[in-house]
Chains A and B, each alone.
Chain A
Amino acid sequence: MLVCSTRLSSPYFLLPLTILLLAPSYGTTAEKAPKPDGRPIVPGFERFYNDAMADRLQGGRLLWGELSCASCHEAESGKQATPSNKQAPILDNVGVRVRHSFFRKFLRDPQAFKPGTTMPDLLAGNDAAERERQVEALTHFLASTGTLKRVRADFVAAAQGKQLYQQAGCVACHGTRDGEGNPDKVLSTSVPLGDLRAKYSIASLATFLENPHTVRPSGRMPAILNNKEAIQVGNYLLRGQALAKAAANVRYSYYEGSWENLPDFEKLKPLAEGKADGFDLKAARRGNNFALRFEGYLHLDRAGEYRFHLTSDDGSKVFVDGKQVVVNDGIHPPSLVSSKVRLDKGTHKLTTGIFNGGGGVELLVEIQGPGLPKQPVAPLLTLNPEGNPKPATQPVDPAEDDDFAIQPELATKGRELFGSLGCASCHQLKIGGNPIVSTRQSPAMGKLRAEGGCVSEKPAKGVPNYSLSATQRGALTAAVSSPAPAAKASAGEMIQRNLTALNCYACHQRDKRGGVEPAVDALFATTQPEMGEEGRVPPALDGVGAKLRLDYLKHIFNQGAHDRPYMLTRMPRFGEGNVPGLAEAFVEADKGKLEPVAAVKFDEPASRVKSAARKMCGGNSLGCIKCHTFAGHKAEGVQGIDMLLMPKRLQHDWFYRYLLDPQKLRPGTRMPTAWTNGQTVLEDVLGGSTAKQIESIWVYLQADGKAALPAGLKKNSIPLVADKEAIIYRNFIEGAGARAIGVGYPEKANLAFDANELRLALVWQGEFIDAARHWTDRGVGFEPPLGEGILRLPTGPAFAELAKDDELWPTNPAEESVGKFRGYRTSTDGRPTFRYAYRGFEIEDFPNAVSGKHSATIRRTLSLRAEKSPSNLWFRAAVADKIEDLGDKKGYRINGESTMRFGEAQAKIRKSGGKMELLVPIQFRDGKARLTQEIEW
């Protein structure tokens, strides 16, 4: 049996065979789909009816609607074939959105050019010459309806578009595509996209994606993307599209050399010059030590103040009419500099220069001004002051030529054919506001015989050829022989029919039918992996009619939804008009599935009811807000559905039953209950009544989005204060590592010791530290000191033996620590003495805060012990740009911001690795040494 053998190749082959056999209606399909062998692909048919065992009648009725049969064959009065008839694409102004070269290629043989298309071949029976004439006429006519819109390709957008395509839900119906936008994993149920590059320009595809229902009104292609996203996905799907007009719009000059700032290009001779499409850094011939200059012309409609934003790695500048406007010079990682300039209306010469020393390279110039929202400036430029030159009259591949001269007489003939062949039976195409009328005559449905015509294996001349498979012909024959009765379908039938026709089953399961197919399952992703399946896979629709409010169901059909902030796949917009009565059918089918909830009466005043609920939802009670967002505020861990959305979405009784027993309504959910077996854990809230407690939360959330925020939503600060004793805080401290030991002293000086690197890492004045980051929620991230005057002490080992005076100071070994941290002892007032060992000697390190004249200082005593005294041992006290010896035991001034003294010891200042170092020699006597370090800042 085919179903079984293909299933065995899926990753779920380990499921016991019994389950597979019991549940064929899940309708999963194989990862590697068979080539569609030129039949029209209707996903619902492929998934549920493309099998000799399947219900031919239901499959046929589905095809009748999806192949738009009723557009030609009227239903007999009193009978209906199918409730939904998929309308063919609207072709008004089709020349604006489809490449003119496409018409010819597609019409010659629709099924060959776009395998799986539902468009029949109306010319199939004609002889070759006649066909070619008709194709040509139709092509000229369709091309005459408009000029194709184009925009420049945007590679950054394409990368974002790839992510959207994978995550927003496109893959559920269309299968996966690779980095270049080409088909990758295509399922047998995937709606084929054909050669998109042959059909669309980026601009026209984006327009379609943003609002597909304008062209395809029946909602089979739902809307899922906003304007910006549609442009991104358009760029991704058409990546690498070769447009006949390769349009250079700037001139570039290329230079090589090693610079620390942008060179003066006037003094350099370029290695290469040429034309480029925007500021294309690919003009560089190597990755490092190069510079590029771009020149183009900017045309401004208005005078006014313009702001330029220059992002680059490394340095760059922008000039307008030879005047420097923005400078982002020097060697640096990607960084942004903005500045503004007044510009007159008219044409300006814009020059941009960039150089790269090493590492990454990046350049983005954006403009913002009167009538110009912030956008990249490169696409606005032209090669010459008067504009871009006309495209070179180099020979264009006729098959790719979208700009062929339209012959009016051919177009007129094509327009006639559009009506007479029957194109107009399915496709609306208005000229001057009036649709072309089809003059094609077809028998009414009731007059159809169950053979011949469109369902022939080889349809006769003039008869539409859909390239139907034998299974499809059989199914359609069954449907024609047995038109559906006029009586209204049951709610269950109606749901199944709609979910099949609109391919809702690609994401949702209901009554064990449909659901995400294994081959694309892994692409359904979440921002909260710890939520498991419920965090990433669209919910099953069992019982949805008892869960969601009728108006909200309709709202979802009309607007789509993205209520689950953690789920990357979105519910797209189908248009309620395309599923008339579906919301009501859900409600009817699921009526009585939920045990009704008795009305709850409160004796308490409404204000007390709401405040009790508010308290329960808060962080110190049931903690709903730990996992649910609330009025847009983020939760601590999992970001569950916003609580204020609940009364808008949910039916009251479902909410009530769900809170009582979440597992029953959503098996496997992470939602816990506070009312196990109906018993509350809060005996002192609303008299300990479970019913009142749940009802009160419903009432509280109703407040039309104005519910007072529950406690615990916003973090308070928890400043730690050393009062009479020193206070220790071990945690992730910014600048002192994951194993930091912070010490706050009553004298209001503080420090952080890095117990991994065995070094004093930070000292600072004033307030110690705010523990709120680590002591609320899960405690994510590194916390910086709370006070001011943060002094960062050298990283790397603090002690080293140097054989020679100019030997470089060692760095920490890659994996291991330089020594061992042994712990600490505290004085009676909590001041720690750290104990650690370097190879060969043990250290006791007692840093202490001492009140000073203006601010506290740190006085540190280091006692060292060694079995065998090390020679040439140094302590590195500072690494800085500038270190001065103040002489006369006044100490050493570091970067002009702090002063260090070392008692009697004579420190040494040396230059090393482009910096200054302050080194103190350690002299052992009888295996012991002592060092004091005073830091004043």
Chain B
Amino acid sequence: MNIKRIVFVFFCSLVFSPALTAADKAPVEDDYYKILRYDIPKGEVMEVGALEFMPDGRLAAGTRRGEIWMIQNALDPDPKKAKFSRYARGLHEVLGLAAKGDWLYVTQRCDLSRIQDSNGDGKADVFEVVNDGWGISGDYHEYAFGSRFDKNGDLWVVLCLTGSFTSNSKFRGWAVRIAPDGKLIPTCSGIRSPGGIAANADGEMFYTDNQGPWNGTCALKHLVPGGFMGHPDSFKWYHLAKNLGSAPEKPHTNSRFMTEAKRIPQYVPPAILFPYGKMGQSASGIECDLSGGKFGPFAKQMFVADQTHSTVMRVALEKVNGHYQGACFPFRQGFGSGNVPIRFAPDGSLIVGGTNRGWGSRGPRPFALERLTWTGKAPFEIHEMHAKPDGFELTFTHPVDAKSAGDPKSYAMKTYTYIYRAEYGSPEVDPTTPTIDRVEVASDHKSVRLVVSKLHEGNIHELSAGGVRSNDGLPLLHKEAYYTLNYIPAK
């Protein structure tokens, strides 16, 4: 054999082979996060609306048909080993579960109840109302989503409006807290149609609201006590919320979120806007990754499900001028039904429940219960996106290739927002196309600085980083990032 040829082959394999591998088979989500599907007992309909882990490790699943199922061995690597038993039935559309001591707290349409199996036969037999201080009129849209307990021991409930536009029953369109003594504390007005509620790593409560009147697109919103979240029909209940004083000024229709935020002190603009059709169409369940790395490199980030697109998206928040804002990223698609609740298991896997009754979904199954597990291999992703006075800083999950990551042509950016208005939804408006003037790659190759002219305060900044390669020559698993730039930091 010709020695020269051997050297050449060796050289090739050294320099080109990672790139070739990458080109041969572009990485896919399934290489990093696997979807496992549980077999629902035959003949049962389990339209999952809420998930919780019991102190003894059982997974509790509440359903829209008003049942609660207990699932043993839910975390076995083989989902077929899971054992289902019906714990309760006859509840009214369960959309919140929280375990505390011997009790399972259940948020249903009409109240927050706590339930218990007092005789140990595996079925709940005590159903106690904890608080029922809100109204229901018989309108199907009046859903109630419950959180788990916050750092003060309060449980939060977000109350969907009567239909899309109006609040016809007490506290519809509000977030309320139920204190440990069972008292109801009116907390935020302005809710439209929530899909989930959970705290972030700081213990601050967030909920998702859906595209509709006063909501140009779906969003993740920070529930600041005393805050107004955007839909003014809820104002009619301020007379029952003496702790909050009088109603805020009504927002002007056909305005912009940040225009009104400057005018109305109580108004809390959305922390994250999910661009409609790009990042789902019906934002739902929320979870914060507190697994300390068991779910991969995204510790303390938020995950948000989408019912229409059957996806789980990823959110990295930061605080600018005292307000939460940040970026959302695609994360995992391909779930079986319309995702509603998500819940981290103690082992760091993510349980995902779904239903597409009444609202269609990409996932074709009428209902599903699934588990998303990390393979242990970190995908090459934009880890975080931070706003800077003159652009953005991106951090990555793997060191980047300095040449591609340092080339402004590897990135493209456009900005837009949505109309804040009484009408249903909104088109994308106010488009601008900033230029990426310069990119500085950090010496550790773990982050880059994008110098951009010019940023547009109040707009979503949609970034596509298609040209960036990792040190190993891999493209980003997801090249898009969408930053809701409510505020540009001063430094």
Contacts and interface: CB of A to CB of B under 8 A. Distances in A.
Do A and B assemble together?
yes
A198 B164 CA distance: 45
A269 to B, nearest CB: 50
Interface stretch (B9-17, B134-142, B315-323, B483-491): B134-142
Interface of A: 11-12, 14-16, 19, 529-533, 535, 616, 619-624, 626-627, 636-637, 662-663, 667-670, 672-674, 676, 681-682, 727-732, 737-739, 741, 755, 771, 775-782, 820-828
B281 A823 contact: no
Contacts of B424: 529-533, 535
B361 interface: yes
B110 A755 contact: yes
B164 to A, nearest CB: 5
A672 B141 CA distance: 22
Interface of B: 45, 64-66, 89-93, 108-111, 113, 118-119, 121, 124-129, 132, 136-138, 140-141, 164-165, 211-213, 252-256, 259, 276-278, 281, 308-310, 333-334, 356-366, 423-430
Given A729-B90, A823-B128, A824-B127, A626 B359 contact: yes
A728 B89 contact: yes
Top 7 closest pairs, chain A to chain B, by CB: A728-B90, A532-B425, A778-B358, A738-B138, A730-B92, A623-B360, A532-B424
Contacts of B136: 738-739
B45 A672 contact: no
A821 B276 contact: no
B30 to A, nearest CB: 11
A820 B182 CA distance: 13
B164 A776 contact: no
B364 A14 contact: no
A738 B66 contact: no
B127 A775 contact: no
A800 to B, nearest CB: 22
A681 B66 contact: no
B357 A782 contact: no
A727 B91 CA distance: 11
B340 to A, nearest CB: 14
Contact of A672 (B65, B90, B259, B308): B308
Contacts of A781: 138, 140
A810 to B, nearest CB: 22
A616 B427 CA distance: 30
Nearest to A685: B364
A844 B259 CA distance: 55
B164 A823 contact: no
Given A530-B212, A728-B90, A730-B92, A623 B356 contact: yes
Given A672-B308, A828-B119, A621 B364 contact: yes
Contacts of B362: 672-674, 676, 681
Which residue among A624, A775, A823, A825 has the maximum number of chain B CB atoms within 10 Å of its CB? A823
B212 A672 contact: no
Nearest to B253: A11
A670 B424 CA distance: 12
A636 to B, nearest CB: 6
Contact of A823 (B66, B127, B277): B127
A668 B277 contact: yes
A325 B2 CA distance: 117
B227 to A, nearest CB: 23
A619 B253 CA distance: 37
B128 A738 contact: no
Nearest to B113: A823
Q: Please report whether the interface of chain B is mostly helix, strand, loop or mixed according to DSSP.
A: loop
A11 B110 contact: no
Contacts, number: 153
A825 B127 contact: yes
B256 A14 contact: yes
B281 A672 contact: yes
B380 to A, nearest CB: 18
A621 to B, nearest CB: 5
Nearest to B126: A825
Nearest to B170: A815
A533 B333 contact: no
A681 B310 contact: yes
A736 to B, nearest CB: 11
Contacts of B363: 681
Contacts of B359: 626, 637, 778
A861 B483 CA distance: 62
B277 A663 contact: yes
Given A532-B424, A728-B90, A682 B308 contact: no
A627 B125 contact: no
Contacts of B121: 828
A925 B138 CA distance: 40
Nearest to A619: B366
B360 A672 contact: yes
A626 B310 CA distance: 16
A730 B91 contact: yes
Given A14-B259, A755-B110, A775-B65, A826 B127 contact: yes
20 contacts: A19-B430, A535-B424, A621-B364, A626-B359, A668-B425, A672-B309, A672-B360, A673-B362, A676-B333, A681-B310, A727-B89, A728-B90, A730-B110, A741-B90, A771-B65, A778-B357, A778-B358, A780-B140, A824-B127, A825-B118
Nearest to A13: B254
Contact of B138 (A15, A669, A782): A782
Given A727-B90, A775-B65, A14 B358 contact: no
A14 B334 contact: no
B308 A738 contact: no
A11 B92 contact: no
A519 to B, nearest CB: 13
B429 to A, nearest CB: 7
Nearest to A10: B254
A681 B364 contact: yes
Contact of B45 (A619, A730, A775, A823): A775
Given A14-B254, A14-B259, A620-B366, A779 B140 contact: yes
A729 B358 CA distance: 20
A826 B116 CA distance: 11
Nearest to B211: A532
Which residue among A532, A535, A828 has the maximum number of chain B CB atoms within 10 Å of its CB? A532
Contacts of B109: 739
Which residue among B125, B359, B429 has the maximum number of chain A CB atoms within 10 Å of its CB? B359
Which residue among B89, B90, B118, B423 has the maximum number of chain A CB atoms within 10 Å of its CB? B90
Given A14-B254, A16-B430, A674-B364, A626 B132 contact: no
Given A673-B362, A781-B138, 5 more contacts: A529-B164, A623-B364, A668-B428, A676-B333, A824-B127
A659 to B, nearest CB: 12
B311 to A, nearest CB: 9
Nearest to A624: B360
A732 B138 CA distance: 6
Nearest to A622: B364
A778 B140 contact: yes
B361 A533 contact: no
B391 to A, nearest CB: 21
Which residue among B124, B140, B253, B360 has the maximum number of chain A CB atoms within 10 Å of its CB? B360
Nearest to B115: A823
Contacts of A822: 128-129
A581 B9 CA distance: 66
Contacts of B165: 529
Contacts of B45: 775
A564 to B, nearest CB: 16
Contacts of B427: 533, 667-668
A727 B66 CA distance: 12
Nearest to A637: B358
Contacts of A533: 423-425, 427
A778 B93 CA distance: 11
B471 to A, nearest CB: 26
A681 B113 CA distance: 38
Contact of A668 (B119, B276, B308): B276
Nearest to A780: B140
A826 B125 CA distance: 5
